[in-house]
Amino acid sequence: MSAAKILIVDDDADHRLGLNLRLRANNYATAFAADALQAVSTARRERPDVVLLDIGLPGGDGFVVMDRFRRNADLGAIPVIVLTGRDPASHRERAIEAGAVAFFQKPADNAELLASIRLALGEPTAAA
Amino acid sequence: MRRRLRPIAIGLEARVRERTAEREDATARLAENQARLSAIVDSAMDAVITVGTDQRIVVWNAAAEAMFRCPAAEALGQPLDRFVPAAARVPHRGHVEAFAAGGRTARRMGHPGTVWGQRADGDQFPVEASISHATVGTATLLTAILRDVTERRRAEEAHRLFSERLQVLHEIDRSILSADSGPRTAQAALDRIRVLLGSARAAIAEHDLVRGTGRWLAVSGASGPATAEGQAFPLALMGAVESLRAGRVETIAVASVAQHAAGREAAALGVRAYTVVPLIAEGQLIGSVDVACPDGRALDEGALGIVREVADQLAIALRHSRLREQILSHAADLERDVEQRTRELAAANAELSLANDKLRDMLAELEAARREQIETKDRFLSHVSHELRAPLTAIYQFSTILQDGLAGALSADQAECVDVLVRNAGQLRSMIDDLLEATRADMAILTLRRRPGVAVDALVDDVLQTLRPAAAEKGVALVHELPADLPRVHADPARVRQILVNLVDNAIKFSGAGRAVRVSAGGGAATPEFVRVSVTDEGPGLTSAEQQQVFSRLYQAPHTAHTARNGLGLGLYISKELVQRHGGSIWVDGETGRGSTVSFTLPADRRTRAAVQPDHTSTAAGVLT
């Protein structure tokens, strides 16, 4: 069984690198995008199983990206986990309404984030 | 022969005696009747006079004697003309003859004021008469029954005058009541005076003693420009003012005032003298009634009496009229005053309204500015928080990568260094969170997403699970004692969780190894509307002064401040704000050395209060370490 592929959408290169290390250590394949346009095109090309999506992005924010996914038959079913520095008080609800399966404020607890990814992939949560 | 004639003679004599007796008897009876009639006629109250065809008097009773002041002895046989006034004799005779001929007269007999008698001494008097006639053989006898109506006529005249005066006084009264002007009242009075006195010329004036002038209110008869109504004149025309003031009547000779235009006009109109009757009201001389003297003679007592009577009434009327005018004028002034004030008030109100509008606008601007300021500040805070989180996230990510050995195995010293790094990153993160929340509490923009049926016990479980690693690290036990029938609450579950994290985290901080932190809850028997949640630690406790301060912003427990870093001290402050936003309250119990208990309440959800799970019948107690 090939590893699940996770698309990391973030304009912060350090963050992309850190997540890449963390996810690969947990046996996930990764793909990257640094802006909204890249997010959609990479998703089309790479067909990820889960998207970790930042909100503050160049060329259109995370909500625009989710909207594009929602309108695209191939991308509409991919679970999106929002991972952002933005305030949950004003963004959590909005993100869930826009179709996100989970919302994390940075820095997210590693264990909680991994549990959320496993939930989105339909994997047993006990797996480490 | 003689013997044959004798019985006849005797018969005749007898018959003559008989007849004589009869006649004597009849004569006696007639005399008796006449005496009786005479007595009746003489005792009558009215004069009874009978004249023969030649109009000479044949009957003249006692009342006639008194009425005409002429004894019967003198009157009998006299012609009736003697007792008729000379001027009426010719027509009177005609009337009598016509009546004698036809029993009718052209005059209506007995109509008062139409028949006049003349007494023996020439005095004339009005009579009421009724006349009848009787024919005796060829002779016609006329009998008149007369009544002297002098007294009645006098009474009637007096009554008429009295009525007239009453009428005048009544009209003056009416003009007072009908609020007539002075000139109209004066005119009404003047009209009446002229009727009563038959005087062609009279006037009523009001006096101004201060200026020494008068003004004609009403003038009757012909007048010139100097005596026209409304015209002023010098008071010298009215004679001595002091005398008038004393209520005395002045009679002025027109010749004595010829130097004044009004005087010359009066003279030109044929007035030689006039009488001035003062009008005095409440002791003040206010005017006069001036009546031209007929034929230059002073008014007689009767006329003067009438004028004075009218003057008294008129004075009151004029005084009333003047007072009324003053009152009306004063009322008009007041009304103008009120109008003026009303206008001023309206203007002031308009100004006030304008000022209010401005103030409202300013307040709205201020409010808008305040909102904008808050929004700007909130945006700034979000931005700062976001920006701080980026490097913090990198520190956390990479230090945990090192810690988890994802970048290669670490020596024991290295692992210890990385642990410190990770722990501090966590502290920094919670400080940033608290700072943001506290500032929002300050700005009163903490948001709540309340929903019904929130289970407190589940939240407590979750929080204790989350904090279990930190507690275990310090050797602190986490215990909960929650009743199975704990009512659900109407609250924002994320905020309740936040409150619980703050309180339990705080309790762990103040507890030493081997101690326990206990979370309990209750329906609150005293306040069934609320659910109480308490977090108890076995730490050093708080003094009563500290108990009052712990919820204030930036509070730091003094005995912990030097020994360890405990964040920004905003946890209890944020918790208090959140509890209060829910409508609950928060407080602390306990004493120094015995640990402390922080309790808060949340509104129970009435609709789901009864909906308790049936399998939780006893108090669940568990140790989560």
Give the containing element (helix H, strand E) for B517. Answer: strand B516-522
Query: Interface pTM (ipTM) of the complex?
Result: 0.86
Q: B487: buried, middle or exposed (CB in 10 Å: 19+, 13-18, 0-12)? A: buried
Looking up tokens 């001929």, which residue turns up?
A: B101
pLDDT of residue B533: 94
pLDDT of residue B460: 93
| Residue pair B612/B590 in contact by the 8 Å Cβ criterion | no
Q: What 3-state class would DSSP assign to B128? A: strand
Section B156-171 average pLDDT? 76
Q: With contact defined as beta carbons under 8 Å apart, do B297 and B251 qualify?
A: no
Q: What is the mean pLDDT of residues B590-617?
A: 70
pLDDT single digits (tens) A8-40? 999 999 999 999 999 999 999 999 999 999 999
Whether residue B390 and residue A21 make contact (CB cut-off 8 A), yes or no, is no
pLDDT band at A4 (very low <50, low <70, confident <90, very high): very high
How many helices, marked H, and strands, marked E, lie in chain B? Answer: 15, 19
Contact list, B495 vs chain A (CB under 8 Å): none
Question: What's the pLDDT score for residue B614?
Answer: 37
3-state secondary structure of B533: strand
Nearest to B129 by CA among B151, B150, B114, B141: B114
Q: What pLDDT, in 10s, does the model give residues B13-44? A: 777 777 778 778 877 777 777 777 777 777 77
Q: Taking CB atoms and an 8 Å limit, are A25 and B406 in contact across chains?
A: yes
pLDDT score of B496: 92
Q: Give the whole-angstrom CA distance, residue B493 versus residue B489.
A: 9
- The encoded tokens of residue B226 equal 């100097």
B507 and B537 in contact (C-beta within 8 Å)?
yes
pLDDT band at B556 (very low <50, low <70, confident <90, very high): low
On chain A, the residues whose CB falls within 8 A of the CB of B374 are none
| Phi, psi angles (nearest 5°) of residue B402 | -65, -45
Chain A residues close to B436, C-beta within 8 Å: 87
User: Which residue(s) pair with B521 in the sheet?
Assistant: B533
Is residue A89 within 8 angstroms of chain B, CB to CB?
Answer: yes
pLDDT of B624 > 60? The answer is no
Which residue bears the tokens 């050995």? B405
pLDDT averaged over every residue in chain B? 81
**Distance, CA of A27 to CA of B322 (rounded, Å):** 119
In chain B, residues with a C-beta closer than 8 Å to the C-beta of A56 are: 386
Mutate to test the interface with A, among B380, B383, B385, B393 (most CBs of A within 10 A): B393
Quick one: pLDDT band at residue B411, thresholds 50, 70, 90? very high
What's the pLDDT band for B111 if we cut at 50, 70, 90? Answer: very low
Q: How large is the average pLDDT for residues B314-322?
A: 82
Q: Which residue of A has its CA nearest to B390?
A: A85
A53 contacts A82 by C-beta, under 8 angstroms: yes
Residue B611 has pLDDT above 80, yes or no: no
Tokens encoding B591? 């004493």
For the segment B526-547, the average pLDDT, to the nearest whole number, is 84
Contact B228, B215 (CB under 8 A): no
With the CA atoms of B245, B249, B253 and B259 taken in that order, what torsion angle do they form, in degrees rounded to the nearest 10?
Answer: 20
Please tell me the predicted confidence (pLDDT) of residue B554. Answer: 63
Treating both helix axes as pointing N-terminal to C-terminal, what angle do B571-581 and B493-510 enclose, rounded to 10 degrees? 150
The pLDDT score that the predictor gives to residue B544 is: 77
pLDDT of B374 reads 81
> Do the chains contact at B394 and A105, CB–CB below 8 Å?
no
B contact set with A (CB within 8 A):
382, 385-387, 389-390, 392-394, 396-398, 400-401, 404, 406-407, 425, 429, 436, 440, 447, 449
DSSP helix, strand, coil percent of chain B (3-state; round to 5)? 55, 20, 25
CA distance B599 to chain A (A): 25
Mutating which of A10, A54, A104, A105 best tests the B interface, going by the most B Cβ atoms within 10 A?
Answer: A105
Instruction: Write out pLDDT tens, residues B439-466.
Output: 877 777 777 888 888 999 999 998 999 8
Please report, for residues B164, B188, B404, B464, the alpha-carbon distance to residue A111 in angstroms, rounded to integers and kept in the order given. Answer: 127, 119, 11, 17
Asked if B393's CB is within 8 angstroms of A106's CB, the reply is: yes
Please answer whether residues A43 and A78 qualify as being in contact, where contact means their C-beta atoms are separated by less than 8 angstroms: yes
Percent of chain B with pLDDT over 70: 89
- CA angle at residue B199 from B197 to B203, to 5 degrees? 105
A15 at the B interface (CB within 8 A)? Answer: yes
